């Protein structure tokens, strides 16, 4: 879809080991420098379809709505990296933007994804693709290295308006010395484990910041439909030898999610 970086590759043994030990791998090349303008155009095209009053951070399921988003998530280089962590058969069930315009004040509180995702077994990998260069200055995502091995942290509800998620782990629970900023060049990705503590501060710079996230799980995952009725999977690679979840349709055109959770059939009329 976009030009691939000539340094794109498979994960090394030490990167696979790092994922197990630290819960993340970062700085992985996917798209080339030549592709960055196309990625920016792609982002503008998708995001500009949202009505002004809707915050893109409060929308999800783009992989079920938009063929262009879906196609990006099927980039073989991205799937190769994911396969190196969770094996040849896996599904996608989430696709979302984490956007911070300069000084918009939005914050992603410290949290563990697996703590509120009703999935079993909990073994999801998140791909975070940088649309713009991302570093400490423009609020790159931060992780607490190794925290995925420490069990569930206490999450408290916080409905502050500038928080992208309404539950947070208090700072005093974190080992500050283990915090790592996942700085990325546009077109690169990081991968993180669903039990890893992560979050991001406000973007106090004049630079834009946006990540495209893709959530993948091995085909043996089962979503609890009582908690997440909309949970549907799309086979991303290999075969679904378990068939444990409802299947989401593959988008045939462009629709735009206006909320966090939708069934794929809600988008069909717009394709």
Name the minimum Å distance from CB 165 to ligand AKG: 7
The CB-of-98 to ligand AKG minimum distance in angstroms stands at 3
**Binds ligand AKG (CB under 6 A): choice among 36, 108, 124, 212:** 108
**What is the dihedral sign for C-alpha 84, 143, 72, 77?**
negative
x/- track of binding to ligand AKG for residues 46-85 (CB under 6 A): ----------------------------------------
Q: Which of 2, 98, 110, 132 binds ligand AKG (CB under 6 A)?
A: 98
**Closer of 126 and 183 to ligand AKG (Cβ):** 126
The residue whose two tokens read 């999935």 is: 119
CB of 37 to ligand AKG, least distance (A): 22
Residues 6+ apart with CB under 8 A from 159: 166
Count of all residues that appear for the chain in the document: 271
Whole-angstrom distance, CA of residue 49 vs CA of residue 95? 16
Bridge partners (DSSP) of residue 216 are 92, 125
C-alpha of 271 from chain center: 24
Interface characters, 131-170, with ligand AKG (x: CB under 6 A): ----------x-----------------------------
Q: How far is the CB of 255 from ligand AKG (least distance, A)?
A: 22
The counts of H helices and E strands in the chain are: 5, 14
For ligand AKG, how many residues bind (rule: CB under 6 A)? 10
Cβ–Cβ under 8 Å, residues 7 and 81: no
Query: CB 82: neighbour CB atoms within 10 A?
Result: 24
Q: Is 28 in the site for ligand AKG (CB under 6 A)?
A: no
Contact between 128 and ligand AKG by CB under 6 A: the answer reads yes
Q: How many CA atoms lie within 13 A of 1 on its CB side?
A: 21
Using the rule CB under 6 A, which residue among 22, 83, 84, 113 binds ligand AKG?
Answer: 113
Q: Taking the complex as a whole, how short is the minimal distance between the CB of residue 38 and ligand AKG, in angstroms? A: 22
DSSP 20-81: HHHSEEEEEE-B-GGGHHHHHHHHHHHHTTS-TTS-GGG---HHHHBHHHHHHHT-HHHHHH
Closer residue to ligand AKG (CB): 3 or 201: 201
By DSSP bridging, strand 156-157 and strand 90-100 are: unpaired
Cβ at position 131, least distance to ligand AKG in Å: 11
Rounded Cα–Cα distance for residues 139 and 99 (Å):
10
Residue 233 engages ligand AKG in binding (rule: CB under 6 A)? no
Q: Quick one: 90 or 128, whose CB is closer to ligand AKG?
A: 128
Nearer to ligand AKG, 97 or 230 (CB): 97
Which residues sit at the interface with ligand AKG, rule CB under 6 A? 98, 108, 113, 126, 128, 141, 198, 200, 211, 213
């Amino acid at each position: 879809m976009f030009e691939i970086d000539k340094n794109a590759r498979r994960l090394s043994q030490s990167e696979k080991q790092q994922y197990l030990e630290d819960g993340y791998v970062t700085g992985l090349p996917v798209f080339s420098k030549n592709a960055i303008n196309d990625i920016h155009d792609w982002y503008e095209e998708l995001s500009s379809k949202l009505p002004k009053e809707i915050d893109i951070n409060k929308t999800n399921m783009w992989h079920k709505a938009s063929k262009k988003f879906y196609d990006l998530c099927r980039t073989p280089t991205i799937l190769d990296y994911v396969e190196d962590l969770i094996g040849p058969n896996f599904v996608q069930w989430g696709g979302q933007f984490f956007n911070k315009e300069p000084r918009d004040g939005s914050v992603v509180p410290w949290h563990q994804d697996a703590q509120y995702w009703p999935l079993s077994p909990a073994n999801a990998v998140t791909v975070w693709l940088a649309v713009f260069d991302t570093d400490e200055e423009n609020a790159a995502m931060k992780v607490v290295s190794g925290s995925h091995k420490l069990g569930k942290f206490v999450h408290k509800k916080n409905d502050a308006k500038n928080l992208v998620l309404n539950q947070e782990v208090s700072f005093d629970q974190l080992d500050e010395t283990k915090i790592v900023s996942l700085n990325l060049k546009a077109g690169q990705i990081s991968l993180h484990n669903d039990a890893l503590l992560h979050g991001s501060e406000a973007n106090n710079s004049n630079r834009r910041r946006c990540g495209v996230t893709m959530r993948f799980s091995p085909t043996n995952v089962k979503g609890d439909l009582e908690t997440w009725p909309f949970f549907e999977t799309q086979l991303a690679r290999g075969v679904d030898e378990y068939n444990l979840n409802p299947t989401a349709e593959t988008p045939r055109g462009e629709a735009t999610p206006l909320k966090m959770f939708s069934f794929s059939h809600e988008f069909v009329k717009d394709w």
